[in-house]
Structure 1
Amino acid sequence: MGFAGAMAVAMVVDALVGWPSPLFARIGHPVTWLGWLIAAIDTGWNRSSDPPALRRVAGFAGALVVIMLSAAIGWMLQSLLPWGWVQILLIGVLAWPLVALRSLHDHVAAVANPLLGGDIAAAREAVSRIVGREPAALDEAGIARAAIESLAENASDGIVAPVFWGALFGLPGIFGYKAINTLDSMIGHRSERHEAFGWAAARIDDVANFIPARLTGFLFVLLAPRRSEALSCMTRDARRHRSPNAGWPEAAMAGALGVRLSGPRIYHDSISNEPWLNEGARDPLAADISHALTIYRRAMLLLAGALAILAFA
């Protein structure tokens, strides 16, 4: 389990420094590089004149190209590294940009801080950077709910899942997963343009996140102040979520905090009637975002510690 140690290194480095703004300004970020490739394939291969079946095949082929190329680059880099602890450290450093531990924390904290101070306008602006729902329609409970849901879901997609695949396969695993996740975020939604072309990307992402989402939920349960409620809510309500995976960490967090999450929301003037998670509980407040961040920090510390123990074992 040498790769587990490398993923622990990646988590520690990201927790300490994140992805510095000067570095982003100079070279961008690996996810933006992936985005350029996916956008080029979407522009060239996703033709509106083609029938849906052909667009679905083209989308599947495009997804394979992006995933296989990313994994191949990871394998090539890994094969060039020396063996032993030097390899583990270097893999950890190379994997670090693909672990969004600090970024997620900072973006959610940027919502909590003004909301705790009563600045609804600033909180709406901050939450609009991490969710797609209409911010003007959000009151304190809506803002808190959006921030907590984003924290729970992205803890799985942004940290646990890449670390999971990286621990199993090293750089090919984490590079390949990040390609899958970026494909889903860019083309895996049910818009008119991407209903067929992004079908494969969405299904592949569902498979890749199946285990990590449930692992994230159980991490939240273990660190919850209300463990029994968190476990009960997760096992009862996770499957009610529109996503086969996001419901697990979100339902676990809802039970851990004793609040209701999901529910109806507005996207671009249209109402999406999502079912409630932990229906009957109270609405979340600004303080609940801070409590969710505490659970998140402890869960990530537990995950990093478990990876380190696996590496030494």
Structure 2
Amino acid sequence: MSERTQGILYLLSAALCWSLGGLLIKLVDLDPLGLAGARSGIAAVLIWAYLRRRSAITPHIEPGIVGSERFSFTTQIRKQKNVILGAIAYAGTVTFFVVATKQTTAANAILLQYTAPIWVAFLSPFLLREPTSRIDWIAVVVTFCGMGLFFIDDVATTARTGDLLAIIAGIFFALCIMALRKGRDGTAMRMVLYGNIIAALVCAPFLIGNSLPAEDILPLITLGVGQLGLGYIFFAKGIARVTAVEGALIPVLEPILNPLWVALAIGELPSYWSVVGGLVVLTAVTGRGVLREFKSKNSKFKMENH
């Protein structure tokens, strides 16, 4: 089996794992914040074991801390600033997503979180000092129009709050992506590990006084091990083996399959305008990723032939 085929299979597996989030979150009868913490705690153990096995997690000392400059945790925090900031953003993403999924439909939660790349395009000029292209701005405008369609329906206050929390989850994920851009190579999984630990610690108090029904134990373990932990491990193993376009397109299966599993299992259906808005968001986000990649390839081709 070729490296590329392996990569595609890993990414398909990652998308499948991630897509189970909506259904499993709906099934577990636990306080949303407590559930977010428990899920991240279980995932952190698995990811730590995975990195440990690969010898990728050891006391991390950045180059240059030798000689007269003594090791200190303050220095390490400064050296790993982007990893830590990204981990905090990741913790916000997974926490707000769980709460949003509990309060609104699974379709709304995942599709509104999926706007993260558009928030990257919108925020990059201000936070990264990176210019935003015409393609980016078109995608931003189209996505914001699509997001507006989610709010046409007259729904309960709780559902509307869930929609807003899903947007916040998308913004946090955008900040996580931007932190990765500023960080060093190989920091992604360390960021995911630290982020899950942060989410678990922050949300742990919300587990106090909560009892977990016996029938919810398996869905909770599956959330931590399969949906979150294995999902990111498969993604990390696959993304380096495929083209950038494949890396952008294959994960799109997650926001498509997520509400499908929920609809089939418990009969929860998104509204008409949520479906229309979701299609607009998916088209804008995916189209932007593909067009940017083709534009990049054309630029490289022209440079090589001049």
Q: TM above 0.5, one fold?
A: no
Structure in which a larger fraction of residues adopt helix = 2
Q: Greater RCO between the two (CA within 8 Å, min separation 6)? A: 2
- TM-score under structure 2 normalisation? 0.31
Q: TM-score scaled by structure 1?
A: 0.30
